[in-house]
Amino acid sequence: MNIVVCVKQVPEVSDADLEINRKGSDIDREDLEFEINEWDNYAVEEAVRLKEAHGGHVTVITLGDEDCEDVLRQSLAMGADEAILIDEDGFEMSDAAGIAKGLHGVVKDLSFDILLTGVQSSDNSWGQVGLILAELLGLPYASLVVGIEMGDGKATVFRELESDTQEKVELPLPAAMTVQTGINTPRYVSILGIKKVRKIKIKETDADELNLSEDEIGAEGSCVTSRKLVIPSIGGAAEMLTGSLDDICNKAAQIIQDKGGLV
């Protein structure tokens, strides 16, 4: 069984003090660290587990620049067999459709049974790339997948719905799915693991090779244009407490008491 997984590199922002760049087009990426998009990490793990259980071949694809090699190497270390990098600056400012078109350029020529992406990416959070890609490929599609069982020529898939309910659907193969976090526990990738896959050659391609013209990708090829990124201003109800730890605690306790939270 062959599986293709599309992954993305994202900035790790959970503990960073984010700043917007001067043009307002993006966050300031200077001091940030980068990692594989969390949802995609689950997708790679799921692909590797399916391969371990049923045999086959896992290919990971990403779209970006040389720096994105890291996420591909990590996926290889997890157990993927092959990695493809679409090394192209032209995708900057693309919306979900633009990205999906780029990925489509590669995926359409691959033979596979399952195409996986994460449900969404942590930076742009469109949650659309997988869907558009499935549409471009004309594949049946399931979103928010939290369980995959393989059958003969078909897959039984569990989708996460509201408040702990799940929907069980059956898809004929080949099919596309977007993977939800929690579907598995992604394995730890050791440094030795990454060093061991150093010799695997990553295939590189770009828009030219994929016959994508300039007006198909980037801002030109997008339906949605991002105007400006803003950090919401601090609202009136919010108050920043300052001072030493003890001061802050005392003030916080006082506020809670004043508002009737502590009796």
Partner 1 sequence: MIPFRVSYWHIQPVWIFYLLAIATLTVLGLGIAIHVSVWRKGIKRQSVSFSLKDIFKVIKEGILGTRIFKGDVAAGTMHGLIIWGFLILFVGTLALSADYWMFPFLHGSFYLLYSFCLELAGLMLITGLIWALIRRYVQRVPRLERRFEDLLVPVWLLAVAISGYLAEGSRLGAQSPEWAGWSFVGYGLSHLWSGQKEAMSAYPWFWWLHALLSMGFIAYIPFSKLFHILAAPVSIYLENQPLQIIPVESREEEVFSYREAIFFDACTRCGRCVEVCPSAGAGEPFTPRDFIAWAKQGLLTDYHLLNSVDRFKNWMEQRGTENGQFDASKIWHCTTCRACLEVCPVYVATPDAIRSARSKVVEQGTEMPDLLARSLKNVYKYHNPWEATKKKRAKWASDLDIPNLTKEADGNRLCYFVGCTTSMELRAQALAQSFVKILNHAEVPFGTLGKKEPCCGDIARRAGEDGLFEMKMEDCSDLFQSCGIQDVVTSSPHCFHTFRNEYPPYMTLREPDEQVSFRVRHYTEVLAELLGKGSLKFENSLGLKVTYHDPCYLGRYNRIFDAPREVIRAIPGVKLLEMTHHRENSLCCGGGGDRMWQEEMDGDPKMSEIRMQEAAATGADVVITACPLCLIMLEDALKTSGLENKLRIMDLNELVAMALELK
Instruction: Write out 75-92 in H/E/C secondary structure.
Output: HHHHCCCEEEEEECHHHC
Of the pair 248, 256, the CB lying nearest partner 1 is at: 248
> What value, to the nearest 5°, has the Cα angle with vertex 162 and ends 159 and 165?
60
Looking at the Cβ atoms of 33 and 66, the one nearer to partner 1 is: 33
Tell me whether residue 38 or residue 220 sits nearer to partner 1 (CB atom). Answer: 38
Residue 171: phi and psi, rounded to 5, are: -120, 135
Comparing CB distances to partner 1, the nearer of 15 and 109 is 15
Minimal distance, residue 195 CB to partner 1, in Å: 6
Beta pairing, strands 141-150 & 154-160: antiparallel
Q: Is 41 or 222 the residue whose CB approaches partner 1 more closely?
A: 41
User: Nearest distance from residue 192's CB to partner 1, in Å?
Assistant: 4
β pairing state of 33-36 and 9-12: antiparallel
Q: Which helix (H) or strand (E) holds 98?
A: helix 96-107
Rg for the chain (alpha carbons), in Å?
A: 21
* Residue 255 CB, nearest approach to partner 1 (Å): 21
Which residues bind to partner 1, rule: CB under 8 A? Answer: 12, 14-17, 31-33, 35, 78, 185, 187-195, 245
Please state the closest distance from residue 15 (CB atom) to partner 1, in A.
5
Q: Closest approach of Cβ 59 to partner 1, in Å?
A: 20
